[in-house]
Amino acid sequence: MAECIVCNVCEHPQKYENALESKEIYSNVRKFKDEKFTVWRCSNCHSLHSKEDVNLDDYYEHYPLKQHTVNYATRCAYRNRLRLLRKHGLKKEHTIIDIGCGQGVFVLFLQQCGYKAFGYDPYVEKYADKKNLDNLYDIVTSYEAIEHANQPVEFFRQFVRCLRQDGLVVIGTPNADKIDLSDPVEFSMELHQPYHRHILSERALVNLGLNAGLEIVKVYHRFYFDTLYPMVNTRLLKAYVRCAGNYFDAMFEKPRFGLLLTSPQLLFYFFAGYFFPPKGHITVFFRMKPGT
């Protein structure tokens, strides 16, 4: 894998040398906090790319997301995901696979709710069996995963290969259009270097679906973690992480209630953060066109 100096997600790829903007970004994972990575924006599709070639196996060895578990916050947030899936046709008799499922927390949640759910993630031994990708599913989901792929177009095509006729593809990912490179601290969770290799603009993501023979069902610009439950909202999460040193790790460590109780801002967002949703995310529902 070489450096990314040519956009690999749009139809008229531009080069790093003609980038609209570029910025050196520190990793927001504590172990790699002193490492910097170049993020640049394609002048055509406005997607963001991480320039340097890295060995992702080394970085995933120490990935904080390995501590992700089903808890109060994830259950509340996953109810949002499930509500939208049901709204767009998910039924108990359907099969569903979550590609890039991480520790399989969402898969487990769906199974506990009575759904026939499966997962795939090449970096997690329990879900690394590619045989699951040989089957066809009624619904294919992928949340916060396509931005991790070195080859997003091929990653997307895998969704379509797993999809039944008239099936649904759901992609949730950071939205490059809403990420301000001049404020890397505010958008550290979306930039998340070096794990986020390519962060797609809305136009680039939509075009991937259209070029794959899918049609758009609905586009959502609010992160699924935004709920009216106390504590479970994206504004609080981002503010808490920032107060905890702006390290991604803080989301999976033991909660620092002292930090919460001594910060008027955090206490306010604890209850009212839902009404101040941050920018920077997109979820697109696609459906296979009849006869495709």
Q: In the predicted model, is pLDDT for residue 86 greater than 90?
A: yes
**Average pLDDT, rounded, for the chain:** 95
- Whether the ω angle into residue 194 lies within 30 degrees of 0, i.e. cis, is yes
Q: In the predicted model, is pLDDT for residue 49 greater than 90?
A: yes
Q: In the predicted model, is pLDDT for residue 164 greater than 90?
A: yes
How far apart CA 112 and CA 8 sit, in angstroms, is 38
Question: Scanning the structure block, which residue is given the tokens 């550290």?
Answer: 188
- Identify the pLDDT of residue 6: 97
What average pLDDT does this structure show over 84-107? Answer: 96
Residue type, 191: L
Counting other chains too, the contacts that 131-134 makes at CB distance below 8 Å and 24 or more residues apart are 132/97, 133/97, 133/99, 133/158, 133/161, 133/162
Tokens of 91: 């039924």
Q: In the predicted model, is pLDDT for residue 292 greater than 70?
A: no
Give 2 or 84, the one with higher predicted confidence: 84
Q: Which helix (H) or strand (E) holds 156?
A: helix 152-161
Q: In the predicted model, is pLDDT for residue 68 greater than 80?
A: yes
Q: In the predicted model, is pLDDT for residue 291 greater than 70?
A: no
Q: In the predicted model, is pLDDT for residue 146 greater than 70?
A: yes
Contacts of 83 (CB under 8 A, 6+ apart): none
- For every residue of 41-102, DSSP letters joined together read E-TTT--EEE-S---HHHHHTT-GGGG----HHHHHHHHHHHHHHHHTT--TT-EEEEET-T
Domains of the chain: 16-60 (no CATH), 65-226+275-288 (3.40.50.150)
What average pLDDT does this structure show over 191-205? Answer: 97
Which pTM does this prediction carry?
0.95
The percentage of the chain sitting over the pLDDT mark of 70, rounded to a whole number, equals 99
- Identify the pLDDT of residue 102: 93
When pLDDT is cut at 50, 70 and 90, the band that residue 70 belongs to is confident
Q: In the predicted model, is pLDDT for residue 151 greater than 80?
A: yes
Q: Model confidence over 207-224: pLDDT tens digits?
A: 999 999 999 999 999 999
Q: Model confidence over 232-271: pLDDT tens digits?
A: 999 999 999 999 999 999 999 988 989 989 999 999 999 9
Q: In the predicted model, is pLDDT for residue 227 greater than 70?
A: yes
How far apart CA 154 and CA 7 sit, in angstroms, is 14
- Identify the pLDDT of residue 290: 75
Q: How far is residue 179 from each of residues 88, 138, 148, 170, measured CA to CA in Å?
A: 28, 32, 16, 21
What average pLDDT does this structure show over 151-159? Answer: 95
The answer to whether 281 touches 222, Cβ cutoff 8 Å, is: yes
